[in-house]
Amino acid sequence: MAVRPPIWILLLLPLLPIIPVLLIIQLATAGSDEGGISKLFLVGFELGLLAVGVIACLAIRRMRRTDGAMLELNTMEQENSRSLRSLRRGNEAVRMQLARRTDS
C-alpha cells in the first residue's frame, strides 16, 4: 500500500550522480577563455538541477514517512474499533445476565 512518487521525481533521480561530475568539469575549465557566459549559465543550471534533485529526494522520503504514519494510524483505529466492539458485546452480555437475574 505504498504511495508512488510522481513520475517527474523518478525521472530526475538518475541525474543526481551525473550533476556533480558535470559541475566539477565546468569549474575545472572555468579559467579557460572558451565560452565564459555559457559556462556560468551551465554551472547555475547544474546547481539548479542539483537543488531540484535534492528536493525530490526529500519529497520522496517525506511521502514514505507519511505513508508509514497513515498505515500506523489506520492500524490503531482498527484495533480501537475491535476493542470497542468486544467491550459492547461484553456490556450486552452483562445486561442480559442482569435481566435474567431480575426476571427470576
DSSP state of 14: G
> What region does 51 belong to: left with phi over 0, alpha with psi -120 to 50, or beta?
alpha
Tallying the residues shown for the chain, one arrives at 104
DSSP state of 75: H
pLDDT score recorded for residue 3: 65
pLDDT in tens, 38-79: 767 777 777 787 788 788 878 877 777 766 666 676 777 777
Structure-block grid coordinates of residue 50? 542539483
d(CA 42, CA 52) in angstroms, rounded, equals: 15
User: Which of 20-24, 27-31, 86-90 is least confident?
Assistant: 27-31
Q: Is the pLDDT of residue 99 over 70?
A: yes
The arithmetic mean of pLDDT across residues 7-33, rounded, is 73
Is residue 17 within 8 Å of 49, Cβ to Cβ? Answer: no
The arithmetic mean of pLDDT across residues 17-44, rounded, is 71
